[in-house]
Copies of this chain bind each other. A is one copy, B any other.
């Protein structure tokens, strides 16, 4: 994976994270995908930081979750990240790379391992339990709650969202402020102030 200069919206995200750091839910964003049937899906996921020296957002998910099927059919996703204290929103859209246990690329493999090690015990436990969305298996869930694994299990996937467009909206000022950032093929970015 080649490196890229930090995009011009990165400073705005960093500022929002800092100003909203007192709120635990600042780490949560909503990730929209398209289901194989062509309808949209949307769920809250935890933001696990940017990849060093890149503009890619890291998230993790279970290989057995619906979003893996969704991304296999339509790799593009759009994350909606609303910061409640400063009342600003980022919409980040682009393709998502799914890094599974069978990844060949050494750099991606290392990122996946790193993401596993960074999880809390309860975060890891979720990947060691029964299949998400299946009829509830109470005993298996309780057993998994105490489980841990040194190495990432096959169920563990790292998601890398690579934004091609970022839409930043600030609700506080009147009129509201909205800026759209667009990435070009050569990796450069342009930005435009637009009507909210």
Q: Are B44 and A39 in contact (CB under 8 A)?
A: no
Query: With the chains together, A130 CA to B176 CA distance in Å?
Result: 13
A30 touches B33 (CB 8 A): no
Q: In the complex, A39→B95 CA distance in Å?
A: 10
Give the contact-size bracket for chain A.
35 or more
On whether A175 and B74 interact (CB within 8 A), knowing A32-B32, A44-B82, A79-B42, the answer reads: no
Q: Which one of A3-11, A102-110, A134-142, A150-158 is at the interface?
A: A134-142
Residues of B within 8 A of A192 (CB): 135-136
Report B-chain residues with C-beta under 8 Å of the C-beta of A122: 174
Q: What is the bound-complex CA distance between A30 and B126, given in angstroms? A: 25
Q: Shortest CB–CB separation between residue A175 and chain B, in angstroms?
A: 4
With A30-B80, A135-B192, A193-B135 already in contact, the answer to whether A141 and B42 are too (CB < 8 A) is no
**A114 CB within 8 Å of chain B:** no
The proximity string for A residues 90-125 relative to B, scoring 1 for CB distances below 8 Å and 0 otherwise, is 010100000000000000000000000000001000
Q: Closest CB-CB distance, A34 to chain B, in whole Å?
A: 5
Q: Considering the chains assembled together, what is the distance between the CA atoms of A39 and B132 in angstroms?
A: 25
Selected from B39, B137, B180, the residue in CB contact (under 8 A) with A34 is B39
Chain B residues near A134 (CB-CB < 8 A): 194-195
- Of chain B, the residue at the smallest CB distance from A175 is B141
Task: Give 20 pairs: A residue, B residue, CB < 8 Å, sorted on A.
Answer: A23-B84, A24-B84, A32-B42, A33-B40, A34-B38, A34-B40, A40-B41, A40-B74, A41-B78, A41-B93, A43-B80, A43-B89, A44-B82, A126-B196, A129-B175, A129-B195, A131-B195, A132-B195, A141-B175, A141-B196
